[in-house]
């Protein structure tokens, strides 16, 4: 990694004599062509944005951790209370475990349904097929919509009969259900998370499809030809040849899927501010600390839980980037 260290260890006379400098001089050629003004400029170009990023993103994450050990409510001095926020969160706060399990359900639905569906569509659309581009455009359209708009569009489907929701109107007018027993898809806390997940999957499938399709296009076609010559059918070729070479993309897909389910916020917020069956870690944070109450310390402890969970996919991703960088 560093060309500088061995050189620093070399005695000064040897360096001035020019013996053994050739390798490090070669590596350092960039530096020798830069004058001082260029170096300062370069440091500013990278350093200033880096400083702003560190302050607004990483420092805020650290401040969240610090605040989670306090009972701060937005005024006065900080009063540290140890682990009390966490104890209350895990043992007594009624919304915490539902929220965590909803995030988990979200992740499971994405992992078991939406992501495989996106991959399946990508595999279907990767082969020469008439109208492939039109199919791709249709499946991808939900991805360009704001999640707030997605929430509204699906509310039109899910509203109760009295609100003229489409699904309930169909159920009632076709006689499949009596008008009194049509479900309140978004209001009933035992089913609304699933209704929301249909809307979220609607958007996630297209996203994964496009990412995976790009990965498939980058696979060397001769690999598949070789597999075909060896007598592999399409399914065998995909699982034994294409899927393994796609390892880097597969990591991206896993990371995107996990991160998207941890970030889930907008649709739940649009529908009922993330309550009554739609609690998520993200909505608990904002409801406790910004929108409705000012329990900064307590809200921060929820943020720390979310931070710790999201570090898993982030570390996974970084280790992959590191590995590819070393090669």
Partner 1 sequence: MAGQRTAHNRARRRLSRVGLHLFLIVLAIIFLWPLVYAVYMSLRPYGEIVANPTGPFSLPATLNLDNYFAVWNAENIPGYFWNTAVITIPSVVLTLWIASMVAFGIAKYSWRLNLLVLMIFTAGNLLPPQVIIVPLYRLYLLIPVPAPLSDNGLMYDQFLGLILIHTTFQTGFCTFVLSNYMKTLSKELVEAAMIDGAGVFTIYWRVILPLCRPALAALGTLLFVWIYNDFFWALMLFKSGDKRPITAALNNLSGAFFTDPTQLAALSVIAAVPTIVLYLILQRNFVRGLTLGSTKG
Sign of the torsion angle spanned by Cα atoms 304, 312, 49, 282: negative
41 binds partner 1 (CB under 8 A): yes
Least CB distance from residue 166 to partner 1, whole Å?
Answer: 5
Binding residues for partner 1 restricted to 300-319, rule: CB under 8 A = 300, 303, 306-307, 310, 313-314, 317-318
Cβ-based nearer residue to partner 1, 17 or 55: 55
27 binds partner 1 (CB under 8 A): yes
266 binds partner 1 (CB under 8 A): yes
| x-or-dash string of contact with partner 1, 272-301, rule CB under 8 A | ---------xx--xx--xxx----x--xx-
The residue range among 15-23, 107-115, 158-166, 185-193 that interacts with partner 1, by the rule CB under 8 A, is 158-166
**φ, ψ (nearest 5 deg) of residue 80:** -80, 135
Q: Of the candidates 14, 53, 80, 239, which one interacts with partner 1 according to CB under 8 A?
A: 53
Least CB distance from residue 25 to partner 1, whole Å?
Answer: 14
Least CB distance from residue 281 to partner 1, whole Å?
Answer: 7
Contact 74, 294 (CB under 8 A): yes
Q: Residue 142 has which token pair? A: 């939900």
Long-range pairs of 260-266 with CB within 8 A, sequence gap ≥ 24: 260/110, 260/204, 260/207, 261/103, 261/106, 261/107, 261/110, 262/103, 262/107, 262/306, 262/309, 262/310, 262/313, 264/103, 264/106, 264/200, 265/147, 266/146, 266/147, 266/148, 266/150, 266/151
Cβ-based nearer residue to partner 1, 48 or 226: 48
Least CB distance from residue 91 to partner 1, whole Å?
Answer: 22
161 binds partner 1 (CB under 8 A): yes
**d(Cα 100, Cα 98) in Å, to the nearest integer?**
6
12 binds partner 1 (CB under 8 A): no
Cβ-based nearer residue to partner 1, 46 or 226: 46
The residue range among 104-112, 184-192, 203-211, 220-228 that interacts with partner 1, by the rule CB under 8 A, is 203-211
Least CB distance from residue 220 to partner 1, whole Å?
Answer: 13
154 binds partner 1 (CB under 8 A): yes
Binding residues for partner 1 restricted to 180-199, rule: CB under 8 A = none
Q: Residue 139 has which token pair? A: 């499946």
**d(Cα 253, Cα 213) in Å, to the nearest integer?**
11
Secondary structure element (H or E) that encloses residue 248, with its range? helix 247-263
Of 10, 15, 272, nearest to 151 by C-alpha is 272
Contact 126, 213 (CB under 8 A): yes
């Amino acid at each position: 990694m560093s060309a500088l260290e061995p050189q620093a260890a070399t005695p000064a006379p040897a360096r001035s004599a020019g013996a053994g400098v050739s390798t490090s001089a070669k590596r350092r050629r960039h530096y020798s062509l830069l004058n001082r003004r260029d170096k300062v400029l370069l440091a500013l170009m990278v350093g200033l944005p880096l400083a702003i990023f560190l302050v607004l993103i990483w420092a805020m994450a650290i401040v969240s951790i610090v605040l989670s050990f306090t009972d701060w409510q937005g005024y006065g001095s900080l009063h540290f209370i140890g682990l009390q926020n966490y104890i209350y969160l895990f043992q007594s706060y009624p919304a915490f475990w539902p929220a965590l399990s909803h995030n988990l359900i979200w992740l499971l639905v994405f992992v078991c349904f939406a992501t495989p569906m996106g991959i399946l569509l990508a595999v279907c659309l990767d082969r020469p097929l008439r109208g492939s581009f039109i199919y791709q455009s249709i499946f991808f359209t939900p991805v360009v919509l704001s999640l707030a708009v997605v929430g509204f569009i699906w509310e039109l489907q899910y509203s109760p009969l009295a609100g003229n929701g489409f699904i309930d109107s169909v159920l009632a007018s076709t006689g499949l259900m009596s008008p009194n027993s049509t479900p309140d898809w978004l209001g009933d806390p035992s089913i609304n998370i699933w209704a929301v997940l249909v809307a979220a999957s609607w958007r996630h499938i297209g996203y994964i499809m496009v990412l995976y399709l790009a990965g498939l296009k980058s696979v060397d076609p001769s690999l598949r030809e070789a597999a075909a010559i060896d007598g592999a059918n399409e399914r065998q070729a995909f699982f034994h040849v294409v899927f393994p070479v796609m390892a880097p993309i597969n990591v991206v897909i896993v990371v995107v899927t996990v991160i998207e389910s941890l970030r889930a916020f907008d649709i739940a917020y649009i529908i009922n501010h993330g309550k009554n069956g739609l609690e998520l870690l993200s909505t608990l944070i904002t409801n406790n600390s910004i929108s409705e109450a000012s329990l900064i310390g307590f809200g921060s402890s929820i943020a720390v839980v979310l931070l710790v969970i999201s570090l898993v996919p982030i570390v996974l991703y970084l280790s992959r980037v590191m590995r590819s960088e070393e090669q």
